[in-house]
Amino acid sequence: MDKRQLFDQVSHMETQIGELYEQLGNLKGHVSEIIEENHKLNVENKHLRSYLGTHDETTPEEDKTHILPGEGVDNLARIYKEGFHICHMQFGSPRTDEDCLFCLELID
Ligand SMILES: [Zn+2]
């Protein structure tokens, strides 16, 4: 292998490493997006489960005894305050900073 070939090969490798590095950066971006999305879904899922837990009509009687009257509304108000819709239109989806009139109507 002459010096010229060697130099070309090293240059080629350098280009490939640059491309790989760029791909790695892109993948890292996607991974953090997915982690963030997963976190949001986990929080949302927790809220939905706690909502269903107090509203599920099929829950056996003994499991319902710890639920006090009005607790469901308190739960909804809490979920709303934490930034999620509780109205039928957009239930469980994250709210923007503005109040939602449909949600507020439910809490009242
Ligand atoms: Zn709403």
Q: How far is the CA of 93 from the centre of ligand 1 (A)?
A: 8
Mean pLDDT by 10 residues, the chain (108 residues): 92 96 94 90 87 63 52 80 86 86 87
Ligand 1 centre to CA of 15 (Å) is 52
Ligand 1 centre distance from Cα of residue 84 (Å):
8
Task: Write out the two tokens for 20.
Answer: 């790989």
Give the Å distance between the CA of 83 and the centre of ligand 1: 10
Give the distance (Å) from ligand 1 centre to CA of residue 73.
14
pTM (two decimals): 0.42
3-state secondary structure 7-55: HHHHHHHHHHHHHHHHHHHHHHHHHHHHHHHHHHHHHHHHHHHHHHHHH
Tokens of 67: 């639920």
> How confident is the model at residue 66, as a pLDDT?
52
What pLDDT does 64 receive? Answer: 47
Side-chain half-sphere CA neighbours of 108 within 13 A: 6
Q: What is the pLDDT of residue 92?
A: 84
